[in-house]
Structure 1
Amino acid sequence: MKKLILGSALMLALSVSFVSCKEATDKAKEATEEVEKAAEDTANKTKEVVEETKEAVTEAVDGVPSFDDAAVAEYVKTYDEYVNEYKEAAESKNMTALAALGTKSQELATKSQEVMKNLSADDAKKLTEYMTAKSKELQEYATKMTN
């Protein structure tokens, strides 16, 4: 009888240890899955931050924001070239060049109406801020030219 009780106690102890190991294995799997998910979330957030930083650096260096619509980006590039040409003409007080830029200004105004039709809200905000800054630049050049 002693052997039977002792054997039963031993079997009970072994079965408890197997159940505990299985629970530990399940918890380890859950922890691994949580770590993998956290790593994936971190990687996604890192990609987003890198893209935002890249855009901010490009904008800071060039002074030209990036746009989702290629037509808007092309318009802004052309407008930036116009501002640079205006600056050169104003600094040299070249009235002939300024007169020629009047035609280019009208073309850009017409093109801006076409471009504005397809803007997203974010692009519209960026374009408005950009155009406001460039208008101030043009005013400064005109003021310097007349002084």
Structure 2
Amino acid sequence: MKKLILGSALMLALSVSFVSCKEATDKAKEATEAAENTANEAVDGAKEVVEETKEAVTEAVDGIPSFDDAAVAEYVKTYDEYVSEYKEAAESKNMTAFAALGTKGQELATKSQEVMKNLSADDAKKLTEYMTAKSKELQEYATKMTN
């Protein structure tokens, strides 16, 4: 009888220890999943920061903001080239080149109306800021040319 009670007590002790181990295993799994979720969120956040930084650096280096619409991006690139040509003509006081830029300026004005139709609010803000800055540059170049 003692062996039966002792055996039963031993089986009960082993059962309790297995249940405790299972609970510990479950808690460990939950902690691992929570850590994985946190790590994934951190990676996603880091990717966003890298993308935003990349756009900011590109804009700072080129002076050209990035746009969601490819047509707007192409227009801004063309306009930036126009401003560079305008600067060269103004600095060299080359009136022939300056006159040729008048036609290009008119073409860009027409194209800007087409591009403006499909702008998102964010792109419209970026384009307005860009065009304001470039207009100021053009005014400075024109002033230098007349002096």
- TM exceeding 0.5: yes
Q: How does 1:29-108 map to 2 (within 5 A)?
A: 29-108=29-108
- Long gaps (5+) in structure 1: none
Deviation at 1:107, TM superposition (A): 0.7
Distance in 1 of aligned mates of 2:83 and 2:118: 24
User: Could you report, residue by residue, the CA deviation over 1:102-142 in whole angstroms, capped at 9, with x for unpaired residues?
Assistant: 11111101000000001111111111111011001001111
User: Could you report, residue by residue, the CA deviation over 1:86-110 in whole angstroms, capped at 9, with x for unpaired residues?
Assistant: 1011111112211111111111010
Distance in 2 of aligned mates of 1:68 and 1:56: 14
Q: Identical aligned pairs, as a percentage?
A: 90
Deviates more, 1:89-98 or 1:113-122: 89-98
Distance in 2 of aligned mates of 1:22 and 1:85: 75
CA RMSD of aligned residues (A): 1.2
Amino acid at match of 1:92: S
Deviation at 1:6, TM superposition (A): 2.8
User: Could you report, residue by residue, the CA deviation over 1:35-84 in whole angstroms, capped at 9, with x for unpaired residues?
Assistant: 11112112211211111111111111100111111111110011001100
- Long gaps (5+) in structure 2: none
Distance in 2 of aligned mates of 1:100 and 1:21: 84
| Counterpart check, 1:21 vs 2:21 | yes
Amino acid at match of 1:62: D
Amino acid at match of 2:127: L
Distance in 1 of aligned mates of 2:5 and 2:74: 88
Q: How does 1:128-143 map to 2 (within 5 A)?
A: 128-143=128-143
